[in-house]
Amino acid sequence: MPLKVANNRPYDVVLYGASGFVGRQTVAYFARHLQVKSLGLQWAIAGRSATKLNAVRKDCGAPKVGVVVAEAHDRDAMDALARNARVVLSTAGPFALYGSELVAACVRHGTHYVDITGETPWVKGLIDQHHDAAQRTGARIIPFCGFDSIPSDLSAYLANQAMQDRHGEVCTQVKAAFSIRGGFNGGTLASLFNMLASGQTKAMADPFLLNPEGTRPTDAQAHADPIAPRFDTDFSAWLAPFMMGPINTRVVRRSAALLGYAQGYAYQEYLRLGRGPVAAMAAASLSAGSFTSQAALRLAPVRNLAQKLAPPPGAGPSEASMDGGSFRCQWVGHSASGKTVRGMIADQGDPGNRATTKMLCESALALALQLDELPGGRQYGGLLTPASALGDVLVQRLRVAGMTLQLEPAQH
């Protein structure tokens, strides 16, 4: 039975890590969105430096926004933050280094939580430690609410929904193919380097790392990450391994288990290169390059050099570069009888920054404004995924926010 959680909290949403690169973008999004919508939410920005937070508050033009100073490893500070918020949004990574106390506090106090981590081994640890307790307190703990891994998770969600609605069947296979234009910020790269440095490559390679106990199929290796180029007739294009596939596929497979997709359900995703011999050569080169770079980054000297060359945490692409980015995720779902559904998720703006900011903020606002409409009802909690925790509410919010989430017309 979920514990009863007090509703009289000073803040509806607290943005933790607000002075970081993506954190500053979330503050700007909230300030702009809430001013336009006049929603009346009480929100605050949080981090470890009062000076930096006050500068962020001044820059966003929201002088009444609360400021909460809280160091990530201070349990008492994290408890106070979680106790005074209904929803916590965190951009403070690497999350394995700076996120664990905050998540634990949110679980203890029944506070909902979203972040943009792609650190699957860290989330595996959270599941093991906190899933049962979060169910009892009714806290929805939802990692992966950025480009890792909302487009993938909602693609599979929409495919399964469309197959049921149109054909009365279930998807047994969904594939997604990404086209992206954009750059990396320092925080994203720092998280990757931390995972590699901490010896988590074996865990990262497990296709069902995040699945609930008892839902791992006997043929797990049949779901291993692709390493070779391929021409796919569903997309009429050459495909290569997608660098984020080893993150996104684990999230989708957890959603599949939590939402009860078909037994034997398969999900895989790729980078789309196009048609013709040039695309074929590009797919082959990228496949080889991906394999070589992943192997090289496991070596400490190579990783240390890459860290020196990468932008530091807090840095990232220019405003013009972020505005000029984009992504498109085309998806195809198949049923056992051969029925097919198709669709696409796409947005303008750098996927790791602009689109991530939109997805993360709308996830937090879904929790703050539409809790009663979310899957499972008000008291549903646990270590969840975007699709299993936010479902149709997030789909609609992202559409209203300008993101394309569409189904192709049924074929007759």
Reported as a single tens digit per residue, the pLDDT across 4-16 is: 444 689 999 999 9
Average pLDDT over residues 254-278: 92
Average pLDDT over residues 111-135: 97
In this structure, of 36-45, 117-126, 360-369, 374-383, the range with the lowest mean pLDDT score is 36-45
Average pLDDT over residues 196-224: 84
Cα separation, 372 vs 383, in Å, equals 18
Q: pLDDT band for position 316 (50/70/90)?
A: low
Cα separation, 250 vs 334, in Å, equals 19
Tokens of 233: 């007739």
84: phi then psi, degrees, rounded to nearest 5: -105, 10
Q: pLDDT band for position 304 (50/70/90)?
A: low
Residue-wise pLDDT for 233-247, tens only, equals 999 999 998 989 999
CB atoms within 10 A of CB 38: 7
pLDDT at position 198 is 63
pLDDT, the chain, mean: 88
Cα separation, 116 vs 180, in Å, equals 18
* DSSP-based three-state secondary structure for 6: coil
Whether the per-residue pLDDT at 38 is higher than 80: the answer is no
CB atoms within 10 A of CB 103: 28
Cα separation, 77 vs 50, in Å, equals 14
Q: pLDDT band for position 190 (50/70/90)?
A: low
Chain mean position to CA 254 = 13
DSSP H or E segment with residue 22: helix 21-37
Cα separation, 322 vs 352, in Å, equals 9
pLDDT at position 220 is 83
Residue-range domains of the chain with CATH: 11-145+353-396 (3.40.50.720), 150-350 (3.30.360)
Cα separation, 251 vs 345, in Å, equals 17
CB atoms within 10 A of CB 51: 9
Instruction: For strands 43-47 and 66-69, give the pairing.
Output: parallel
Whether the per-residue pLDDT at 194 is higher than 90: the answer is no
Q: pLDDT band for position 367 (50/70/90)?
A: very high
Residue located via tokens 């011999």: 277
Cα separation, 279 vs 240, in Å, equals 10
Residue-wise pLDDT for 130-187, tens only, equals 999 999 999 999 999 999 999 999 999 999 999 999 999 999 999 999 999 876 544 4
Higher-pLDDT residue of 187 and 204 is 204
Q: What is the dihedral of CA 55, 367, 173, 272, to 10 degrees?
A: -20
